[in-house]
C-alpha cells in the first residue's frame, strides 16, 4: 500500500513542492467549509425557516376557518402564494449538494401539521409545501430567499479565488527559491558526465553553502586530475629519452637474435608507456562536442580492419548527434575491439540508443570472462590471461580500465556479459546523452 502511494507522488522537486502547497490549502478550505459554511449557514437557514413556519401556521388556521380565499388575501403581503392542492403528488425533493434545503425540509415538517411534501428542487427560486389532507390540502409557494441564506455561494467563490491567488503567489515564490537548487543539480549532473558548466551559488544561505562546497570539490578534483596527468606525462617523457637512446645504440649493432629480442623488449616498453599515459591522461584535456555516433564508430571499425582485425559493424537505428569527447570514446572502442581481436577470431560492433543513454556494444566469439571475474577485469593493470588465450598476445591490463574510465567520465558505465550471438564476451559501453 505504501509503495502504491509513493508511486503516485510526483518525483520532481517542483511537483513535490506544489503538492506541499496545495494539500494544506485545500485541506484548510474544506475544514472551513464544513465548520463554518455548513454549521453557520444551516443555523441561519433554520432561524429564517422557523419565522416562515409561524406565518404558515397562521395561514393554515385562516384557511381552515375562513376559507382559501381569505388565506390567499392574507398571504399576498407576506410574499407567499397559497392555492388549493394540485393533482400531482408533492414529495421531499432536493439536490444532493443542497445542504440548506435539507434544513428547510426538516424545519417545515417539524413546525407544520399534516405536511405531505416539501419540494426545494423543482422550482429553483421557490419552495413548494403541501400540507393538509383531502379538500383542505393546500399548496404554498415560498420565495427561497426567505428560508435560506444565499451568501454561501458568494463566500465559496471568494474562498476559491483567494486559494488560487495564494497558491500562485506561493508557487512563484517557492519556484524562485528552488531554481538555485535545480541549477546546482544540473551543474553536478553535467560534471558527472564530464562537462563543466558555469555555475555561481545563489539562493538561500544553505543553498549557497552547498553550491560553494560543490565548486570547491569540483576545483579539487580538476586540480588533482591535472596534477596526475602532468606528473605521469613528465615521467613518460623522461623515460622515453633513455629508451630512444637505447634503440639508437641497438640499431648500430650488428643484427643478431639477441639484438632483435632487445628491440622487441623496447617496443613492449614503449607500448606500455603509451598505455600508462593514456590511462593517466583520460579525457580531461578534451572538450565535449556534438558527434554523430555511427560515423565515429564506422571510422574506428575501418581502422581496425586496416590493422587486420575481423570486425563487422552491425546496422542499427539512426542515432541523433550526442555530446561526447570523440577521441576518448574512439580510444575506448578501439581498446574493446583490440581486446576482442587479441582473444577471439572475430567480433561485431553495434550501436543502440534511448532518450537517456547511448550504448556501443562489442561482442566477440572468444572464451569470454567468467562472471565472478568480470569486476576484477575492470581493475587497472589486471590481466586474466589464464581465462583467455595467452598465445594470442597479452596487454598491460589497461584496455578495459580505460574504456570503463571513459564511460564513467561520460556519466555511464562499462558492462561485461555473455554474447547472445557469437557466444563470447559482450562489452556494453554505456554513455549518458
Q: Is residue 180 in some structural domain?
A: no
Task: Indicate if the pLDDT at residue 403 is higher than 80.
Answer: yes
Confidence of residue 392 (pLDDT cuts 50, 70, 90): very low
What is the rounded average pLDDT of the residues 12-38?
73
**How far is 47 from 389, CA to CA, in rounded Å?**
98
Residues 134-159 have a mean pLDDT of 73
Is the CA virtual torsion 341, 343, 345, 351 positive or negative?
Answer: negative
Whether 261 is in a domain gets the answer no
Residue at which a domain ends, from 115, 149, 183: 149
CA pair distance 46, 103, nearest whole angstrom: 6
259 lies in some domain: no
Distance CA 326, CA 346 (A): 24
In a domain, 360, yes or no: yes
Q: 226 lies in a domain?
A: no
Q: Are 50 and 148 in contact (CB under 8 A)?
A: no
**Is the separation of the CB atoms in 39 and 150 below 8 Å?**
no
Q: Residue 280 pLDDT > 70, yes or no?
A: no
pLDDT in tens, 207-223: 888 888 988 888 888 78
Calculate mean pLDDT across residues 405-433: 87
pLDDT at 381: 65
- With bands split at pLDDT 50, 70 and 90, how would you rate the model's confidence at 348? very high
Residue 394 has pLDDT above 70, yes or no: no
For the residues 17-43, what does the mean pLDDT come to? 74
Which has more confidence, 194 or 399? Answer: 399
- Whether 270 is in a domain gets the answer no
Q: What average pLDDT does this structure show over 392-415?
A: 76
Give the CATH number, domain containing residue 105. Answer: 3.30.450
pLDDT above 70: residue 6: no
- pLDDT, tens digit (0-9, with 9 covering 90-100), for 89-101: 788 888 877 777 8
| CA-to-CA separations, 179 to 171, 172, 185, 323, in angstroms, rounded | 12, 11, 10, 25
- Which residues, in sequence order, are CB contacts of 195 under 8 Å at separation 6+? 288, 323
Domain of 135? 2-149
Instruction: Note whether 412 and 433 are within 8 A (CB).
Output: no
Task: State how many domains the chain has.
Answer: 2
All three cell numbers of 52 = 416562515
CA distance 298 to 313: 7
Determine the average pLDDT of the residues in 142-169: 74
Q: How far is CA 27 from CA 34, 161, 163, 277, 350, in A?
A: 11, 15, 11, 64, 55
Cα R_g (the chain), whole angstroms: 43
Which distant-in-sequence residues (6+ apart) come within 8 Å of 375 by Cβ?
A: none
Q: Is the pLDDT of residue 3 over 60?
A: no
> Residue 248 domain-assigned?
no
For residue 223, what pLDDT is reported? 82
Residue 20 falls within a domain, yes or no? yes
Spatial separation of the C-alpha atoms in residues 194 and 329, rounded to whole Å: 12
Domain's final residue, options 93, 117, 149: 149
Q: Which residue has the higher pLDDT, 369 or 78?
A: 369
- The helix/strand count (H/E) of the chain reads as 12, 11
Contacts of 433 (CB under 8 A, 6+ apart): 322, 323, 353, 354, 355, 356, 357, 358
Place of cell 422550482: 123
Query: What is the rounded average pLDDT for all residues in the chain?
Result: 79
CATH value at residue 378: 3.30.565.10
Does residue 391 surpass a pLDDT of 70? no
Give the pLDDT confidence of 47-73 residue by residue, as tens digits: 888 888 888 888 878 877 787 777 777
Which residue among 149, 179, 207 closes a domain? Answer: 149
Residue 41 has pLDDT above 70, yes or no: yes
Amino acid at each position: 500500500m505504501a509503495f502504491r502511494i509513493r508511486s503516485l507522488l510526483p518525483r520532481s522537486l517542483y511537483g513535490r513542492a506544489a503538492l506541499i502547497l496545495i494539500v494544506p490549502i485545500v485541506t484548510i478550505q474544506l475544514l472551513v467549509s464544513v465548520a463554518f459554511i455548513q454549521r453557520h449557514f444551516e443555523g441561519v437557514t433554520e432561524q429564517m425557516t422557523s419565522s416562515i413556519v409561524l406565518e404558515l401556521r397562521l395561514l393554515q388556521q385562516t384557511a381552515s376557518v375562513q376559507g382559501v380565499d381569505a388565506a390567499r388575501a392574507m398571504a399576498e403581503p407576506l410574499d407567499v402564494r397559497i392555492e388549493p392542492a394540485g393533482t400531482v403528488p408533492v414529495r421531499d425533493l432536493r439536490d444532493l449538494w443542497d445542504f440548506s434545503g435539507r434544513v428547510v425540509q426538516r424545519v417545515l415538517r417539524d413546525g407544520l401539521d399534516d405536511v405531505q411534501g416539501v419540494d426545494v428542487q423543482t422550482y429553483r427560486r421557490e419552495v413548494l409545501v403541501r400540507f393538509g389532507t383531502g379538500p383542505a390540502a393546500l399548496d404554498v409557494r415560498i420565495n427561497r430567499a426567505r428560508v435560506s441564506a444565499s451568501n454561501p455561494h458568494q463566500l465559496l467563490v471568494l474562498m476559491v479565488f483567494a486559494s488560487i491567488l495564494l497558491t500562485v503567489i506561493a508557487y512563484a515564490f517557492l519556484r524562485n527559491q528552488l531554481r538555485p537548487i535545480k541549477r546546482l543539480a544540473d551543474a553536478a549532473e553535467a560534471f558527472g558526465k564530464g562537462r563543466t558548466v558555469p555555475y555561481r551559488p545563489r539562493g538561500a544561505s544553505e543553498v549557497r553553502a552547498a553550491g560553494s562546497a560543490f565548486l570547491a570539490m569540483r576545483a579539487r578534483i580538476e586540480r588533482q586530475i591535472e596534477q596526475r596527468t602532468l606528473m605521469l606525462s613528465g615521467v613518460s617523457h623522461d623515460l622515453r629519452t633513455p629508451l630512444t637512446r637505447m634503440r639508437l645504440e641497438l640499431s648500430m649493432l650488428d643484427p643478431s637474435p639477441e639484438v632483435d629480442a632487445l628491440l622487441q623488449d623496447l617496443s613492449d616498453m614503449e607500448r606500455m608507456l603509451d598505455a600508462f599515459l593514456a590511462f593517466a591522461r583520460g579525457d580531461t584535456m578534451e572538450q565535449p562536442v556534438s558527434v554523430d555516433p555511427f560515423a565515429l564508430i564506422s571510422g574506428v571499425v575501418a581502422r581496425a580492419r586496416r590493422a587486420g582485425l575481423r570486425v563487422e559493424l552491425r546496422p542499427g537505428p539512426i542515432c541523433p548527434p550526442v555530446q561526447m569527447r570523440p577521441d576518448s570514446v574512439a580510444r575506448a572502442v578501439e581498446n574493446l575491439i583490440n581486446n576482442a581481436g587479441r582473444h577471439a577470431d572475430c567480433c561485431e560492433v553495434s550501436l543502440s540508443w534511448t532518450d537517456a543513454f547511448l550504448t556501443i556494444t562489442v561482442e566477440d566469439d572468444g572464451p569470454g570472462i567468467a562472471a565472478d571475474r568480470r569486476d576484477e577485469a575492470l581493475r587497472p593493470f589486471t590481466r586474466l590471461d589464464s581465462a583467455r588465450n595467452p598465445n594470442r598476445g597479452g596487454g598491460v591490463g589497461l584496455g578495459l580500465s580505460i574504456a570503463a574510465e571513459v564511460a564513467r567520465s561520460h556519466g555511464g558505465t562499462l558492462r561485461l556479459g555473455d554474447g547472445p550471438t557469437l557466444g563470447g564476451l559482450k562489452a556494453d559501453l554505456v554513455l549518458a546523452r
